[in-house]
Amino acid sequence: MKFQTFFQIYYKHRIIKANPLYKIYLSIIIPIRFILYIIFLEKRVDLDNLAINNPALFDKDLNYLFEYFNTDKGHYFYNQYSRTKNKKKIEGHKYVTFYEKYFKTIKDRNLNILELGSFKGAAAAAFYFFFKNSKIYSGDIFPDLFSFLSNRNFNFKIDTGSENSINSLILANNIKFDIIIEDASHFLKDQIISLFLFFKILGPKGIFVIEELDFPDTRKDMNIYNEQPTLRQILYAIINKKDFDSKYVNSFDKEYFMKNFDTIKIYKGRINEIAFIIKK
């Protein structure tokens, strides 16, 4: 992990709120804590070697793998943002039931899977064992956080709030994906442009997943200017056969989506919502 990433994730918000004396203290202690983090906590796991030494992981269900690799998609996980090794599990989003429903019949196929918002790569590691014949592409604005290596996992930097970033880093490569999971910033604009841009590179019968769909509807920090429609409102408008208009969706991308989506299902996890969109 780069120092800039360490600072952005763990300390930037504290520096902004700190009084002058505390800022001086933080400026001294942060570099020391970064060095200690690198020495004692940061480790990269080779999934290919792990598979050789622990082949039973290929037979585990998805919730087991989510908890084993510590992603909040399952029932329980350790706090991913903690700077120390937290030994107390907390409740996750509990989306795993819905993931199992859509993924269990295709898990043995040769798929291209795109994960947006990979963070440390816990979900990508779980998918490595669940989708044993698939390639997993994981993008994040801080790619140096990614903690796993394998011959089937590919990690890269992307800003899902930037159309230029999406176009140059993904769309220009002409790769078709069978599954796309959007779990990045959850900001209103980012959610909308991610769906309508990435949907074009989703293959036939592909699955597009949006986690925390309701964040821009329920969290001020994800929709600072209270813009409407949110992606949630757009999807419900489509479900109810109503029109919608968003400044973040051009007429071409809107028409393409409307002609090519098959079904839209929205589910409630432990607290937040998750959407599964199937392409024709």
Q: What is the pLDDT of residue 277?
A: 98
Handedness of CA 150, 99, 208, 8 (dihedral sign): negative
Token pair belonging to 274: 């998750």
Phi, psi of 4 (to 5 degrees): -60, -40
Amino acid code (one letter) for 11: Y
Place of tokens 């902004």: 16
Give φ, ψ of 174 to 5 degrees. Answer: 55, 35
The model carries a pTM of 0.88
Nearest-Å Rg of the Cα atoms of the chain is 19
pLDDT at 128: 98
| Residue position matching structure tokens 């929709």 | 223
The Cα 215–Cα 123 span in angstroms is: 20
For 13-169, where are the E strands, in sequence order? 45-46, 76-77, 90-91, 112-116, 135-140, 148-149, 153-157
SS (H, E, C) 64-82: HHHHHHCCCCCCEECCCCC
The ranges of the chain with pLDDT < 50 are none
pLDDT at residue 127, as a whole number: 98
For residue 88, the one-letter residue type is: K
Domain residue spans of the chain = 3-40, 45-279
Instruction: Please name which of 220, 221, 216, 214 lies closest in space to residue 269, comparing C-alpha atoms.
Output: 214
Report, at the CATH architecture level, how domain 45-279 is classified: 3-Layer(aba) Sandwich (3.40)
pLDDT at 257: 98
Output the pLDDT for position 85: 57
The pLDDT assigned to 36 comes to 77
The pLDDT value recorded for residue 80 is: 66
- pLDDT at residue 41, rounded to an integer: 63
Q: What is the pLDDT of residue 86?
A: 57
CB atoms within 10 A of CB 113: 24
